[in-house]
Every structure is written in C-alpha cells, then in structure tokens.
Amino acid sequence: MMVTDDLTALDEQVVRLLQLLRSPGYRRVVLRGLPEGVGIGGLRVLRTIERLLAGGTLPTVKDIAADRGIEHSSASRAVQAVVAAGLVSKSTCGDDLRKARLDLTPAGRDVLAVATRNRRALLTRITADWPPEDLGRTVALLARLTDAYADRLADDR
C-alpha cells in the first residue's frame, strides 16, 4: 500500500471513530446511570473543568470557551446548565469580581466518575480479546496521533 493509500485509510478511520463517538449508541452507554438532563455537552464541560483544575487553573467561562473551541455565549449557557443541575459551583474571583471561578461539586465529581466507569467498561468489552501488546501499541500510537493533531492545529492558528 502506498503512503497516500495509508493516509486515506487513516483519515477514514479517524472520521469513522469520531462518528461513532457522536452516535446515539455511544451516548446511551456513556450516559447510563447519570441524572436526567446530563448530556454529552455537560460532561464535556465537567471534564474540561476537572482537567483545568488538575493542571492548577481555577477555570472561568472564558477558559471553558477557549478549551472547547466554542463561543463565549455557548460556553456560558453550557456552564449555566451544569450549575443549575448542581454539578458545578461558581464563586467570584478575588482579583476581578466580574469573573466567576468554576469548581466541581461532589455531585459533579460523582457524575464524572460514573461516565468514566461507563467509558472504561465499553473499552474493556471492545478490547477484551486483544493481546496486551496490541492495546499498548494502540495507546501509544493514538497518543502520538492526538499530540500531532494538537501541535499542528496550534501551529495553524
């Protein structure tokens, strides 16, 4: 197979994986056991807050918008939805009272834990018959691909 054919096949697999991760079936699996009204969009906000907090950032709506690559108004609505659901708390920023800092509530952490268990259970079923070296190689190559996308897209800003 020529490199061009390999790139075409890789492109098709990336598109196919993205489609599957956006499918109703995937949503049903990931959202199983979560409170009514918590959707994939809400989970994305929660995961973004979790990741930013783990990195030492006290996130704001502006941070959510930048990280998710969405407009501030869309991020604001998404944040308001998870605040209204009791999954995120808002507090004023000490240095700028116009800014609100976001944090996960215990309920928000619980929702993330359930969603993570659901995703991992799905991956466990998918890869149950894979040799360990195939799983390790897949993780390494997917990390390399993801990092390369991130680097290239950052360069193209």
Q: How far apart are CA 142 and CA 49, in angstroms?
A: 23
Q: What is the predicted pLDDT for the residue at 2? A: 60
The residue written with tokens 């998918």 in the block is 126
Q: How far apart are CA 30 and CA 121, in angstroms?
A: 9
Q: If the chain, 157 residues long, is cut into consecutive pieces of 10 residues, what is the mean pLDDT of each piece?
A: 81 96 95 91 94 92 91 93 94 74 96 97 97 97 94 80
Contact in structure between 39 and 79 (CB atoms under 8 Å): no
Local structure of 92: helix, strand or coil:
strand
Q: What is the predicted pLDDT for the residue at 3? A: 66
Nearest Cα residue to 63 out of 37, 45, 85, 88 = 45
Q: What is the predicted pLDDT for the residue at 99? A: 77
Q: What is the predicted pLDDT for the residue at 9? A: 94
pTM over 0.95: no
CA distances from 46 to 17, 23, 64, 113, 146 (A): 22, 20, 10, 11, 21
What letter would DSSP give residue 88?
E
What letter would DSSP give residue 155?
H
Q: How far apart are CA 114 and CA 101, in angstroms?
A: 24
Q: How far apart are CA 68 and CA 99, in angstroms?
A: 18
Q: Which domains does the chain have, with CATH numbers?
A: 38-105 (1.10.10.10)
What letter would DSSP give residue 90?
E
